[in-house]
């Protein structure tokens, strides 16, 4: 597992030193809370994997592990503390944990509350009764996908650059797009704080004097996408983040949120090596 350097700051502020040190429900390091164990098939059924009989067949078929060990019928687990995987994918069984996708509208600041009275993330979470953190930021003029959770451990890893979670952006710029732009951005350019390159580049559409391009990158430095396009002579006119790791914005409307599915949550854990 990659080491964690708490001093790194990320893309559009995507990593804040010391912000996440573990789950929101972690006990103090000197405390050992009592285990609350239940039959494993009951935990799997409560997580929506089917009836208890179906879940028993999963266990009997060798498809379930608990803390890295293959489970057997009769095993018990603590849904809030044990790492349970089904078919190699992490299953979130702690019902206190919340995982959301938000389509941040343009003009909204990436803070939960804003002392200047500007629209903030909390304004779009009227039905969420637990405190959640935003996983990374988008600047006020940018829009698109933000992840929100109270799972501090996962949030920390998703933001930390050493885990190299890819992010996808659609960028509107002036057209036409020179053929050399993609090659230049993939080869790497040098900014004032060091070199940077994209993982992939493609032209999505061209319309009149404007063009829409898509870039994928693992970088996490402040305003990195805007600075890259500025450096090649094409200032960003509109910036939309459409994907973080395996999670896609899809058809989620601006200002709306949705709960991630178990499959999406498991894919996020896989993206950070869990």
Q: For residue 58, give every residue at least 6 positions away whose Cβ sits within 8 Å of its Cβ, in sequence order, or none.
A: 44, 49, 50, 64, 86
First-last CA distance in the chain: 9
Q: For residue 258, what are the β-bridge partners? A: 101
Cβ proximity of 260 and 54 under 8 Å: no
Omega before residue 176 within 30° of 0, cis = yes
* Active-site pick, 139, 141, 193, 205: 139
151 is catalytic: no
DSSP 223-267: THHHHHHHHTT---SEEEEEEETTEE-TTPPTT-EEEPPHHHHHH
H-type helices in the chain, by residue range?
40-46, 52-60, 152-159, 180-187, 224-231, 262-271
Phi-psi category of 50—alpha, beta or left, where left has phi over 0 and alpha has psi -120 to 50?
left
| Residues annotated as catalytic (active site), given as ranges | 139
């Amino acid at each position: 597992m990659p080491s964690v350097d708490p001093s790194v700051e990320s893309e559009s502020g995507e990593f804040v030193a010391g912000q996440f040190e573990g789950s929101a429900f972690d006990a103090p390091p000197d405390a050992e809370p009592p285990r609350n164990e239940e039959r494993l098939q009951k935990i799997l059924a409560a997580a929506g994997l089917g009836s208890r009989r179906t879940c028993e067949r999963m266990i009997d078929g060798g498809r379930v592990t608990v803390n890295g060990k293959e489970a057997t019928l009769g095993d018990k687990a603590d849904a809030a503390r044990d790492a349970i995987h089904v078919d190699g994918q992490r299953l979130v069984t702690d019902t206190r944990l919340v995982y959301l996708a938000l389509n941040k509208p343009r003009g909204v600041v990436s803070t939960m509350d804003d002392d200047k009275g500007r629209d903030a993330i909390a304004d779009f979470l009227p039905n969420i009764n637990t405190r959640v953190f935003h996983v990374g930021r988008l600047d006020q003029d940018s829009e698109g996908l933000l992840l929100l959770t109270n799972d501090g451990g996962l949030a920390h890893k998703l933001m930390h650059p050493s885990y190299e979670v890819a992010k996808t952006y659609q960028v509107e710029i002036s057209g036409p797009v020179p053929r050399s732009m993609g090659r230049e951005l993939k080869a790497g350019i040098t900014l004032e704080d060091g070199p940077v390159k994209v993982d992939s580049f493609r032209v999505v559409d061209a319309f009149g004097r404007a063009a829409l391009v898509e870039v994928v990158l693992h970088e996490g430095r402040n305003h990195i996408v805007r600075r890259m396009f500025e450096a090649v002579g094409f200032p960003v006119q509109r910036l939309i983040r459409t994907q973080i790791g395996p999670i896609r914005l899809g058809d989620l409307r601006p200002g709306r949120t949705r709960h991630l599915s178990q499959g999406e949550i498991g894919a996020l854990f896989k993206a950070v090596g869990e």
